[in-house]
Amino acid sequence: MSVQDVIVIGAGAAGLMAAGQAASAGAKVLLLEKKEKPGRKIAISGKGRCNLTNAENVSDFIHNYPGNGRFLNGILREFDNVRLREFFSHYGVESKVERGGRVFPVSDDAEAVVHALLQFIDEVGVELKTNQTVEEILTKEGQVAGVKLTNNSIIKAESIIVCTGGSSYPGTGSTGDGYRFAKELGHHLISPRASLVPLKTAEKWVSEVQGLSLRNVEASLWYSGKKQRTEFGEMLFTHFGVSGPIILTLSRWAGEALQQGEKVELHINLKPALTSEQLDLRLQRDFQKFSNKQFKNALDELLPQSLIPVIIQLSQIPPDRVIHQVTREERKHLVQILQGLKLTVLGTLPIASAIVTAGGVDVKEINPKTLASKLFPGLYWAGEVVDVDGVTGGYNLQAAFAMGYRAGRAAAEYVRAGV
């Protein structure tokens, strides 16, 4: 039976950082990972490029965490985006800023990020064991005492940091183990649900334009009879509905509203840079230019080719109608469709398809300064297993790294104080 100062469960972003920081602070650390390779979710993040963080001022970060952003305030300030970029630069991963402040490795290689973290934990003496599944967190006299693995071996430890992730992308190892540990230890769990996930829609025509990506459009989420949130940027049509950055961001609130029994709609403004009056004038110019063409042949300069049949169908203007015969009322109706293309949201894809899991261990039972459990001394929670989630743009990885940093340091301090 081996004995450790700190055991970290899960070698993702939070776990690798936590293990390294605990060892840097002088603790003897064992990092347990259930999969064969550590950092698997990091390696596939950002389409294999890894959106590390965001370059905006850290004081503006909090509003990008709809899930308990205020809980993260001190943690993000301690290990902010500047320190994170400096950390990776030290291990040879230089970074660059792209549209929306998104920060990526200059190499566009997520594997380089994983390699840097592995170099870090090796340098500070963390013992990494892969293919190790924790069955149970052991306690004794109201404190954590170690872990029991699925092979029935027991490893004692003074402190344990749970960094098991959520329930999204289970192939990477995030299969909800941390939620089970939380329940067994008496922690309250906020029901996990999909966040940053594609949306399924009722309209059949979306399958006709699947693969079509739209840039510089505006998507608004409607429920309870009014517009709730609006995002501007890029979206994608799929065979089942819609995806892309602005849809993923809106999906958190869409899923929440659907859970509450709301009727949820998306309104897509294909021409958000123009007022309805300006778009009408644009149409008038186009209609004058193509006055002798049929309606179906007069929209090429306005819309992507694959979307034209859809808009024609929704407008109810006969496709063979000659442009100069299109009435003012029909043109006005067309403007409304172009700036309010409606989609009925039926649901989200399953949580396994989500980039991030919302919900998790209730933050009311976690010390925001140390990430220590308020129920069990020596127990810490970090990363996606906690009820914290952000929008797209690098915020979720920044939170995971910052939480890992704080939990690792705090666990080491706890061990030292007990010596």
pLDDT digits (tens, 9 = 90+) for 239-280: 999 999 999 999 999 998 998 999 999 999 999 999 999 999
Q: Average of pLDDT values for 200-229? A: 96
Residue 91 has pLDDT above 80, yes or no: yes
Q: pLDDT per residue over 94-106, tens digit each?
A: 999 998 899 999 9
Q: What is the pTM of this model?
A: 0.89
Q: Which of 39-53, 172-186, 386-400 has the lowest average pLDDT?
A: 172-186
DSSP string, 33-100: -SSSSS-HHHHHHHHHT---EE-S-GGGSGGG-TBTGGGGHHHHHHT-HHHHHHHHHHTT--EEE-GG
Work out the average pLDDT over 227-247.
96
Question: In whole angstroms, what is the distance from residue 12 CA to residue 401 CA?
Answer: 9
- Set out the domains of the chain in order of their start, with CATH numbers: 3-193+357-418 (3.50.50.60), 198-348 (1.10.8.50)
pLDDT of residue 419: 54
- Residue predicted with more confidence, 31 or 193: 31
Model pLDDT, residue 193: 86
pLDDT classification of 168: cutoffs 50, 70, 90: confident
**Is residue 70's pLDDT more than 70?**
yes
Task: Say how far apart CA 91 and CA 313 lie, in whole Å.
Answer: 56
Q: What is the pLDDT of residue 175?
A: 73
pLDDT in the model for residue 263: 97
Q: Do residues 16 and 117 touch, judged by C-beta distance below 8 A?
A: yes
Q: Which pLDDT score is estimated for 167?
A: 78
Average pLDDT over residues 287-312: 95
Helices (H), 91-139: 110-123
Instruction: Please state, for a pLDDT cut of 70, what percent of the chain lies above it.
Output: 98
- The answer to whether residue 1 scores a pLDDT higher than 60 is no
pLDDT confidence of 169, banded at 50, 70, 90?
low
The packing angle between helices 308-315 and 328-338, to 10°, is: 130
Tally Cβ neighbours within 10 Å of residue 140.
9
Question: Which distant-in-sequence residues (6+ apart) come within 8 Å of 151 by Cβ?
Answer: none
Q: What tokens were used for 13?
A: 């972003």
Other beta carbons less than 10 A from residue 289's beta carbon? 12
pLDDT at 32: 98
Average pLDDT over residues 134-141: 96
Identify the pLDDT of residue 173: 65
**What integer pLDDT is reported at residue 353 of this predicted model?**
85
d(CA 126, CA 384) in angstroms, rounded, equals: 22
Residue-wise pLDDT for 173-195, tens only, equals: 667 899 999 999 999 999 988 88
